[in-house]
Structures are given as structure tokens and as C-alpha cells.
Amino acid sequence: MAEVVELQKLKLAELKHECETRGLDVKGNKVELITRLQAYLEEHGEHAIMDGLKDAITEDNDKKPIVSEETAEKKVVKITPPASVDERVQKRAERFNVPASADGKKAIRAARFGLPAAAPPTSSPGVTVNKSTAVSVEQLKKRAERFGGNVSSVSKKVEEDEKLKKRKERFGILAAVTPDMEAKKRKRSERFGNVTV
């Protein structure tokens, strides 16, 4: 009865190993392997299984790695925080292979899209229209004619400017304030007081 309990405790791989050592068929589920081993034990005696179990246990112990004292010692790692925010940003940039500064990011982006290095924009008092905008305005006008409406804010602005120009031509440009107008304003302010609208 003791061997039955011991066979029940064995795992499938161990049962297959026992069957293989005794020359039995190793195919089948756990119940079939146990019945084969029990039949073999009844024919050959109990001591054969005990010897096999002892061998299996010693083999399992041999397979386990022995922990050495050297690996048991832990290494002490000293972590020191970076002195400043700039150093942290720089180390993070190195770790993730990205530029640390905004200028570096802009330069990489310009290189990616084939643009020249970003120069500081020059401000001019008047509105300047370059050739690329003029070409795009013409293209936008053609598109507006095809599809029946302006979508682009640039083309809307150009269209409004053209309307204002035509209106000024139609009604004439208002002349600067004449002395006669100045006299009328003065009389009105005397009559009603200094009321500004």
C-alpha cells in the first residue's frame, strides 16, 4: 500500500522516467503509468521501486544549483542625484538619444524636413508677400473657383483686401481733414460739448 501512495505522489515526468528505467512503455496519462508500474512491482518485488525513487531523489538534488557565498553578498550601489536640473535634462537626453535643448530639437527637425537652419525671423513694418505666397494665392484662387468657396485664411484675407481696394476706387479715397471740416467740428463741440463717440 505504501508504494501506491508513493506512486500517486510522483509527477508525470517522474513516472515516465521510472517506466523508462524499467523498460516499460512511457506513453499514456498518469493513471496508466501508475498501473503499469504497479503491475511491474508485483512481478519483480517492492525493493525495485524504492531504489528507483532514491535514485530520482538524488538526481533532483544534483540538478539544484548550489548558492555560493560570493553571490549571496550584495553589491552596494551608491545613487547620487544630479546637482542641477540642467544635468538631469542632459543625462536624460543622453539616455534616450534625444537633443536636450530646444535649439537642438529645432535643428534636428529642420534637418529631417530638409529646411535650412532656423534663422531668427526679421520683422518688417509692412506686409511682404514673397513668391511662394503669390503662387499659393493663385493656386488658392483656382481652387476656390473649382470648389465654390474659400477655405484658406490666406485666400480670404487676399479676397477682402481686393474688395477694399475696389471699393476705394469706386468711392474715392477720403482726403485729409480740411480746414473747413475743422471749423465745423469746433462749432459742433461748442454747441454740444466735448462728446466723443
Given this model, what pLDDT does residue 169 score? 87
Cβ-contact 141, 135 below 8 angstroms: no
Given this model, what pLDDT does residue 109 score? 84
Given this model, what pLDDT does residue 83 score? 66
Given this model, what pLDDT does residue 89 score? 80
Give the phi and the psi of residue 169 in degrees, each rounded to 5: -65, -40
Give the HSE-up count for residue 151: Cα atoms under 13 Å, Cβ half-sphere: 9
Given this model, what pLDDT does residue 1 score? 42
Amino acid at 142: K
Given this model, what pLDDT does residue 31 score? 92
CA 72 to chain centre: 39
Residues with Cβ within 8 Å of 37's Cβ and at least 6 positions away in sequence, in order, are 7, 15, 18, 19, 22, 24, 49
One DSSP character per residue, 142-189 reads HHHHHHTS---HHHHHHHHHHHHHHHHHHH-PPPPPPHHHHHHHHHHH
Segment 32-49, tens digit of pLDDT: 999 998 998 888 875 555
3-state secondary structure of 65: coil
> Chunked in runs of 10, what are the mean pLDDT values of the chain (197 residues)?
71 91 91 91 68 55 53 65 74 79 82 72 51 67 82 81 90 69 88 74
Given this model, what pLDDT does residue 20 score? 92
Hey, which bits of the chain come out as E strands?
Answer: none
Q: Which of 169, 149, 174 is nearest to 159 (CA)?
A: 149
Domain segments of the chain as ranges: 2-57, 86-116, 129-197
Given this model, what pLDDT does residue 111 score? 85
Per-position b or e across 110-135, b if 16+ CB within 10 A of its CB: eeeeeeeeeeeeeeeeeeeeeeeeee
Is the full-model pTM beyond 0.85?
no
